[in-house]
Chains A and B, each alone.
Chain A
Amino acid sequence: MAILPLALAGVRFVRAGETLLGPLDLELGACGTSVVIGPNGAGKSLLLRLCHGLLAPSAGRVRWCGADAGSAAQRQAMVFQQPVVLRRSVLANVDYALALRGLPRRERQRRAAEALALAGLEALARRPAHVLSGGERQRLALARVWALRPEVLFLDEPTASLDPAATAAVEALIGRFRQAGTVVVMTTHDLGQARRLADEVLFLYRGQVRERAPAAAFFAAPACAEARAFVRGELLW
């Protein structure tokens, strides 16, 4: 049973009379990792928030089409650019998310231990989460959603403020989600990261999906002029 695919039909997002995103007609979830790229203000974060249900579209519909769509909220997770941790221990941060799902204590302990081990945080389990470094926090955020076993994972620029070593650790974790069969939808500013992780690329420009293609094809020869300029590293806004 699955909640995917995710269909956006005529989705628009308007704020203060200005259309920031859309109209979009889009289906997501057919392939492993979809990477959304585009300049600042293109609507990348907005798109993720609409998909995840944190924002409601001004028009149109965001719909989970799978047989299990009723439990969609429980089967997806999101990690933000600024990892948000609660003022409690590393372990308790993971446990909190599991408790919200109503899992029994035994199961919570098992999953939390497994997730922290995966993220290389077992040694820090009893530390207050607030003393962690930026990279460790992001790994904790990923461990927390790993424990939830989502079918779909949204990542909003997960390595935007991290150094190369921390970025590598986070990308390795994202790889584990892919191996586990989780569909990943992520945004990034880092074209190198997009090349490393993407199965398909969505190029977003001024609130519109201007191009969508398998990663290899996209990076070999972007079809639209803006995407070509963007990939070449020209400043686009």
Chain B
Amino acid sequence: MTDLSTAFATALRLITTLDAALVEIVTLSLRVSFGAVLVACVLGLPLGAALALARFPGRQALVVLGNALMGLPPVVAGLVVYLLLSRAGPLGEFGLLFTPSAMVIAQVVLITPIIAALARQVVEDLWASLGEQLRSLGAGPWRAVPTLLWEGRFSLVTVVLAGFGRSIAEVGAVIIVGGNIAHVTRTMTTAIALETSRGDLPLALGLGFVLMLLAVLVNGAAYWIRDFARARGG
């Protein structure tokens, strides 16, 4: 019990004094997650919208596959990216393994399906209610993609935040492809895993607090944006 309260106090001190090691780890975590979310949005939003509007054989199978990939186990994603980036792998020559870039790639693999699948649902619903009018005005499915993404912007913010939440909290994939190297690829989640096993509870707990705080901030932002949209007549 005293262990826990000591750890608690130390954790608070690390946060309030903006401890250098803590800040470094938090910064890297945010960089990796933001980078991954950005790439996943660029890929996933148009992909999801296209999947919502396109009609081609095999579309349903692709939709099911995309939905299934939402539940892709992070360690599996990590393993696949590891094999691709390792020295002997097809992308080995770029020397990306155990770098932040490798972590971004692994996270992109994890969250692009989430963003694409959720965006597909949003855009499909919008097309059901707006499709006739847009076609009447002369916008075919392809021209409608940007229109519908913009139309669904408030719902899509929640989609993007869902991707960010998955990314920032994820440990399995980034520890495999990043290697949890101090000052290079150590993120909040990998550090918590390591420090807990080493018995350095204060740092682990401090990082845990920051992680929780970020989760609250992210969800608060999502709630606020919805609220704002509703106030404006959404």
Give chain A's interface residues, CB within 8 Å of chain B: 49, 52, 54, 73-74, 77-78, 80, 84, 86-88, 96-97, 100-101, 128, 130-131, 144, 148
Contact = CB atoms under 8 A, between A and B. Distances in A.
Contact of B138 (A73, A87, A128): A73
A54 B132 contact: yes
Given A100-B138, A100-B139, A101-B138, A84 B133 contact: yes
B138 A84 contact: no
A101 B147 CA distance: 15
A128 B233 contact: yes
Nearest to A131: B233
B136 A128 contact: no
Given A97-B137, A100-B138, A84 B234 contact: no
Given A84-B130, A87-B151, A130 B234 contact: yes
A100 B234 contact: no
A141 to B, nearest CB: 8
26 contacts: A52-B136, A54-B132, A54-B135, A74-B138, A77-B136, A78-B136, A84-B129, A84-B130, A86-B130, A86-B151, A87-B150, A88-B150, A96-B137, A96-B147, A97-B137, A97-B138, A100-B137, A100-B138, A100-B143, A101-B138, A128-B232, A128-B233, A130-B234, A131-B232, A144-B137, A148-B137
Which range contains the number of B residues in contact with the other chain? Answer: 10 to 19
Contacts of A86: 130, 147, 151
Interface of B: 129-130, 132-133, 135-139, 143, 147, 150-151, 153, 232-234
Contacts of A100: 137-139, 143
Contact of A87 (B132, B143, B234): B234
Nearest to B136: A78
A74 B153 CA distance: 29
B128 to A, nearest CB: 11
B35 to A, nearest CB: 29
Nearest to B151: A87
Nearest to B137: A97
Q: Which of B133, B138, B143, B150 has the most CB of A within 10 A?
A: B133
Q: Which 8 A-B pairs have the closest CB atoms?
A: A131-B233, A84-B133, A130-B233, A100-B138, A78-B136, A128-B233, A97-B137, A87-B151
Contacts of B135: 54
B54 to A, nearest CB: 18
Nearest to A98: B137
Contacts of A130: 232-234
Nearest to B126: A87
Contacts of B132: 49, 54, 80, 84
Nearest to A76: B136
Nearest to A130: B233
B132 to A, nearest CB: 6
A84 B151 CA distance: 12
Given A54-B132, A54-B135, A87-B153, 12 more contacts: A52-B136, A77-B137, A84-B129, A84-B130, A84-B132, A84-B133, A86-B147, A87-B234, A97-B138, A100-B138, A101-B138, A128-B232
